[in-house]
Amino acid sequence: MIIAVDGPLAAGKGTIAKALARHYGLPHMDTGKLYRSVAYRLLALGKSPDDIVSATQIAHGLSLDGIEDHNLRTAQVGAAASVVAVHPSVRQALYDLQRGFALQPGGAVLDGRDIGTVVCPEADVKLFVSASSEERAGRRLQELLAQGEAISYADMLAQTLERDARDSGRVDAPLRPAEDAHLLDTTGLSIEAAVDKARLIVDHIRLAKS
């Protein structure tokens, strides 16, 4: 069973995807980590996320074993990752990694921004997780503050809107729900409630296909 979980920044897709993976005993991939890893390496080399050649070279050399969590969740890396993800050559370079993970025996859960539309259009279950811009900015702000980063809510909201526009407006694999995706709005929901709703959707689809 392949479960695709898409959605914008801080909508809750990663938390939901991890919970679904645990519940159904499936491996999980946060595909955004691939782009953050490319961005982190670019910044570490003193290069701009607009450097398509360098970004593509790094993407081609990336492996699942070489992806670390440390320092990937900062605001700077997140913003750079959104720019890196616009480059079609980078997306193509990372496509095979994602496809290989999804097609392993038994299936997998992948979360990102184009899983149901590009990476796994044949996924058994497609979820598109969203929430209001204001709530998503607030969630991300709390995460960054907990990491010791100093940023205002106004700046976080502006960054959220800017990233939404970039992700939705890119020519290659724009952020959008797949035609057969099930929409899940997490605005005002607790983590537990959001996960429960996602599980109900998955169970309903599994039952209908059995």
C-beta of residue 84 within 8 angstroms of C-beta of residue 42: yes
pLDDT at 70 over 90: no
Q: Is 209 annotated as a binding residue?
A: no
What pLDDT does residue 210 have?
79
Q: Is 158 annotated as a binding residue?
A: no
Q: Which of 200, 118, 159 is nearest to 10 (CA)?
A: 159
Which pTM does this prediction carry? Answer: 0.93
Summarize the confidence of residues 106-117 as an average pLDDT: 97
Q: Which of 75, 80, 71, 85 is nearest to 31 (CA)?
A: 85
Residues 42-54 have pLDDT tens digits of: 999 999 999 999 9
In which band, very low, low, confident or very high, does the pLDDT at 66 lie, cut at 50, 70 and 90?
Answer: low
Q: Is 15 annotated as a binding residue?
A: yes
Q: Is 14 annotated as a binding residue?
A: yes
Q: Which of 207, 198, 155 is nearest to 17 (CA)?
A: 198
Q: Is 9 annotated as a binding residue?
A: yes
Please count the other Cβ atoms lying within 10 Å of the Cβ belonging to residue 176.
15
- Residue ranges of domains in the chain, CATH in brackets: 2-201 (3.40.50.300)
